[in-house]
Amino acid sequence: MQNAKCKLKNACRGFTLIELLVVITIIGILVSLLLPAVNSARESGRKAQCSNNLRQLGLACRAHEEAQSCLPTGGWGFCWVGDPSLGFGQQQPGGWLYSILPNLDQMQLYNLGGSSKGVITAVQMAGASQCISTPLSIMNCPTRRRARAYPCNWSGTGFSGVNYTPFNANPTANVARGDYAACVGDEADSNVTIDWEGPTSLSAGLALAAGNWQGYDTNGVIHLGSTVRLDDITDGTSNTYLLGEKYLVPQHYYNGNDGADNESMYTGCENDNDRTTYYNTPLQDHPGLLIYDCFGSAHATSCCFVFCDGSVHWISYSIDANTHHWLGNRHDGQTINLNNL
């Protein structure tokens, strides 16, 4: 009887402290082994979403070209936002994203800021203000940030003394900002003028449009006042960048203090929404490294681009610099082996 009681007592005793610590340690080791795999799976899903975003944007640009006989225009500059009454070509002050809103099933958003036969009115200013503060999930890389309105720095601390207040929209505290930019070519800023405020009046902009924006053409596919056709891409649509992820500084993702990410994604041609392949190969977002003009991303090894044929490619940060230049130029005649990207 005594032996039976001892066996029952031993069978019912709990874990000792040492045994409990061993179990906790084993669980911790298992979690540490599983966590990288979980994070990798999550990032793989985010990359797939980012790739799909660019694919859909590229298809919308091609649908625009089919309907309007040109790719979406780059618009008039950073002080202008979209106006539906001014059409889709060189008279349109808004940028490439604004022009493809109808192709993204966003016609209501596109129609918010209409002027009265080209005359800026209070109603138009209010509507445009609502437009520029409306986010679109398709314009944000999930690895970097969510689609929502972020603070806008109209004073432009990124470029001393510059006033970014739009001419045809009421300024708002928060605006929608995107993570994708059009390729203006492989020329320096002094040539592509992506940091340009644009004409200072509607009449001046329309006059430039009437003159086909002479002197502002670049070798990319979307730029200031552009109306580039697919037929103009003589290097081949499969060898030319259309849109890609833009480089940003992580500490300024949300605050609007990056001079190349301080305004709305609907503005005309500037480096918030347009980038060049001239200065750098794509870069991974890096704290404290302010670069206003190049492509890049928050992903670990590569940056996503959609080409003019609608195909999506992940471009390594170690891509050959010349190859990257050539991919930004629509008519340089260079032969590119896409297998080396």
Q: Is the pLDDT of residue 23 over 90?
A: no
Classify residue 52 by its DSSP letter.
H
Tell me the torsion sign for CA atoms 219, 225, 230, 231.
negative
Place of tokens 């990359």: 47
Task: Give the model confidence (pLDDT) of 224-269 as tens digits.
Answer: 999 999 999 999 999 999 999 999 999 999 998 888 998 899 999 9
Classify residue 246 by its DSSP letter.
B
pLDDT at 5: 47
Q: DSSP for 109-155? A: HHGGG--BTTB--HHHHHHHHHHHT---GGGS-TTT--SSEEE--TT
Q: Is the pLDDT of residue 194 over 80?
A: no
Q: Hey, what amino acid is at 213? A: W
pTM: predicted TM-score of the whole model, two decimal places: 0.86
Nearest 5 degrees, angle CA 293-CA 294-CA 297? 130
How confident is residue 25, by pLDDT bands cut at 50, 70 and 90?
confident
Classify residue 335 by its DSSP letter.
-
% of residues, the chain, pLDDT over 70: 86
Q: Give me 135's structure tokens.
A: 């986010």
How far CA 95 is from CA of 3, 200, 244, 310, in Å, comes to: 88, 16, 15, 19
How confident is residue 4, by pLDDT bands cut at 50, 70 and 90?
very low
Q: What does the alpha-carbon distance between residue 75 and residue 97 come to, in Å, rounded to a whole number?
A: 10
Q: What does the alpha-carbon distance between residue 325 and residue 322 come to, in Å, rounded to a whole number?
A: 5
Q: Is the pLDDT of residue 306 over 50?
A: yes
